[in-house]
Structure 1
Amino acid sequence: MLSIQVGQCGSRNGLKFWEILAKEHGIDENGQYIGNSKDQLSHICSYFNEGVDRYVPRTIFIDLDPRSEDSVKASSLGSLFSPGSFLSGKAGGMNNFAIGYYIDGSELIDPFLDIVRHEAEKSDIFIGAQLAFSVGGGSGSGIGANALRVLKEEHFGCLFQSSIVLPSPKVSDIVIEPYNAVLALHKICEYPRLNLLYDNEALHDICTRNFNNMKPTYADLNRIISASMVNLSSTMRFPSQISGGLRKIATNLIPFPRLNFLSPSLSPLEKFQNYQPTQFEIIQKLFNPENWLISHDLHWGMTYAAALILRGDFSPQKTIEELNNIKYQNDYYFDWISDNFFTAICNTPSLDWKMSASMLTNSTYISKILNNIVDAFTEMFRKKAYLHWYTQEGMDEMEFVEAESDLLDLISQYSEMDGADFGDEEDYEDEE
């Protein structure tokens, strides 16, 4: 699996992601194994290349702003990464999708593909790639969308999963973020099989409410996202009671190709670790709005697919019983899930908790989240506010019309599912 970090947000998330992965696998900052468990090495090559005398992350950091590369290299993990893992421009993306997608960012796509090909050639089996980026800025929105386009064209049979951070005025005062987000999402929704949406506003609220941090920084928000990304990868990195690779998750969660935006939740999300929540408490909290990493309400709309990734000493039988009980208590919201929730159990616990869990859901509530972004886009676009920042970079006004129309169509597709019946639908399969 290849990990790809795009833009400043992606780079910061990626650095924290690799910091946790290295610790979980007993790898020090120089790539040397210093662990004490055979499980740490059993699946390590799914995310690390094994060199002559050290392990090297399978990763790419790409950003128009060279300061992102400098920051990663100057960190405590700087020497862990291969020098060939970095691609940088000469200046930033100016918070402009056009610069990231069409202008400066497009010049990085060919060398980006060269690195991907090189990594694929070194792998016995190239499973796919996981990308992390924000759609609020210029590099993340533009390069992120372009990277997904060329990856799909180059490696059609592989699976691509994106961790996408949505903008929020509560966290950022960059007024053109809705433009960047809609233009990027318009491109993105056609490409990968799994899109995990993270909401800066929800992450901000988690920091203030769950951790009593009244002035959270981007580092605080990224720490939560990285923990979610690490948990998602756990069943591919360690021995598991019930395996849950990305392709299996995609098959269970995506009923139709375009409806591929998922809502993540995480448990526990506590300030203090002086007690270990029970299995029941952990699973219950996954359904608590305070544990969602995107603004979410299970009581609005329908949830028609859900997957749980559990870490630690979970009992499969008790898990099934607890999930059936939750489903019974919330019959209306989970009416479309024909069997039990899809569940994967990783035996190896996280660094912080003996037992923890993540959940991904595919819900019609996504239409409400997307609609909020489109509303902010439309409010500016009808006034043609800041439009010249994009047209002077070569974009046409019709691209904005098409992006808005496409997102509204996607919202309608989600909304229509509220009254759909999945009883006679065949399981959705990935195209080969």
Structure 2
Amino acid sequence: MLLLQTAVLLSGCFDRKELEEQAYVISIGVDKTESEDVFRFTFEIANPEVGSTFSGPSTPEPAQEVVSVLGTDFLSATSAANVSVAKEISLDQVRVVIVSEKLARSKKFIHLMQTAPSIIDLKLNAQLVISKEKAEEFIRTNKPKLESRPHKYFQYMLDRAKETGVIPEAPLVRFFQITEGDADLFLAPFATTKKDPKEEYGAEDNYKAGEVNIKGGNSTQFIGSAVFKEGQMIDILTGEETRFSLMLDTTLPQQDIIANYTDPLRPGFDLAARVQADKVKVKIDYKPTGKTNIDVYVSMHMNIFAVPSTQNYMINSKNRNILHASLQKQLQEEGEKFIKKTQEKYKLEPFYWSLHIRSKFLTIKDYEKADWANKIYPNANVRLHVKVRSLEFGKLLRESDLRKVRD
């Protein structure tokens, strides 16, 4: 009897596969082809032995293998790629799905994405990334200098960029939620390996991928976001606009953001500050026959790290009050400018505010008839209320007096 019970327990292992029998894909690239319903899929397969503590100091094997095949969906492309890969291809560890801008802007993109949830192995928490160039070119050109393990590179790169707020968090599940809701804009990280730097220097976040003038290192840049409306890419936001999108979204955790602001007493200089935003509050006064009022309350705490102008903001209370009012005004004006852009240009918002008006209706039909996307939001009276609750100055006790230094 004991042997029979043991046999029942062991039967769950009949389909097990050893780790060395599987090839783990860490990124998938998808490109548009000349054929209408055929796409080029690129699989970046990681070599687990490279960079691990068990492989020794020198491993002659490459860190990854890149395979590119044609296919109509993710499942058939994965099967086709296994023709040249000895191990069974597994999508369990996919971190990013990279789609070219050309494909994302086409109407075929939404049909392609509908095939992703049908694959059991592909987790819906994988991040969707839009590349300026072909996805295959992006994957083959991306050569991290300090990280030999490609899966770790994407993990660190996306985590760090999300912390600074210059790219959004875009898991596949969020794409489907917002697209099926048909009431908000979806944002995905924008990246490229092609440099097209701006000649003039602007704010550190007023760039799109490829525009940051960086010399040396890896050519890949993650900054800005691709804007999707009804499952199709329509525009690109800068890093600054992306930050405001994340700051005004009540469904996302607020991150500490480091940014530059104009020095009010010396406009030729900038201030470096860390901004910590509290949870955003949105109140909607829905009016069926008139303009709906939307009040957005944003409170934040700021820590000034650098004052290149050496103005005395720490000890001089009058100067500190001027700085406080100026920072609040700058945030208010930039936020209002971006909200106006979403109303006039996109006719939709990327803040997921449609969630806050659904409780105003008894049925889904009433909500759909009111038409948040085409009638309510574009014509709404949006009032942004920014409040800087605290202003600190890091570890600095006072600024140097340059007049005494030069004297």
TM-score (norm 2): 0.33
Pick the structure with more helix per residue: 1
Pick the structure with more strand per residue: 2
TM-score (norm 1): 0.31
Q: Which has the higher contact order (CA 8 A, sep 6+)?
A: 1
Bigger Rg, which one: 2
